[in-house]
Chain A
Amino acid sequence: KAGVTQTPRYLIKTRGQQVTLSCSPISGHRSVSWYQQTPGQGLQFLFEYFSETQRNKGNFPGRFSGRQFSNSRSEMNVSTLELGDSALYLCASSLGEYRERYGYTFGSGTRLTVV
């Protein structure tokens, strides 16, 4: 079966712009979470969605937002981009309500560069 699909793979944006990243989870998976990876901070949790509801949010400013659709696909949006937002953004999907029992599968990520 298809894995977790993230689009686009690479993105270059200018400071002040906004960006939307997309994640399609594995078919049947209802939980989608997002992570930011930078050399300085490592892998940090952004937020998690389950059945279209945000269940948990990490310590990021309000410029970072997301949503999940009825087909479990998720998008995250970053407004007013800053240079420090340059990072690899990873999406993970998990089976469902008992997601912690099955683990998470990650996509290939979107590498965002802000210039």
Chain B
Amino acid sequence: GIQVEQSPPDLILQEGANSTLRCNFSDSVNNLQWFHQNPWGQLINLFYIPSGTKQNGRLSATTVATERYSLLYISSSQTTDSGVYFCAVSDRGSTLGRLYFGRGTQLTVWP
């Protein structure tokens, strides 16, 4: 299966700071999503971004499929941004529905 690596594993920020989370994947993909897992365990879909750049408020994401990486940018971070951020991909070679997840980045934002 596809290997997904996320960095950094942990990130501690002061409120108002900016951050960049990275996701590397080992093979061609036809789906890439960024999720935020809230304290209650739910995975909240942030971006569906197999390629290109998208922005949603203070968050934006860029995927460079040919170089097999994606970046998630968080600007002016807030305490509510705390939680675990996951990157997940689907294998381009398969039409079957399976996501491969990275181990996540644990973000802690202090007031």
Contact = CB atoms under 8 A, between A and B. Distances in A.
Contacts of A100: 30-31, 90, 95, 97
B97 A50 contact: yes
Interface stretch (B13-21, B42-50, B59-67): B42-50
A55 B99 contact: no
A5 to B, nearest CB: 12
Contacts, number: 64
A58 B43 CA distance: 20
Interface residues of B, number: 24
Interface residues of chain B: helix, strand, loop or mixed (majority)? strand
Given A56-B96, A100-B97, 14 more contacts: A42-B103, A42-B104, A43-B86, A43-B88, A45-B99, A48-B98, A50-B97, A56-B98, A92-B99, A102-B48, A103-B48, A104-B99, A106-B35, A108-B42
Interface in A29-69: 31, 33, 35, 37, 42-43, 45, 48, 50, 55-56, 58
A106 B45 contact: yes
Interface of B: 30-31, 33, 35, 40-45, 48, 86, 88, 90, 95-104
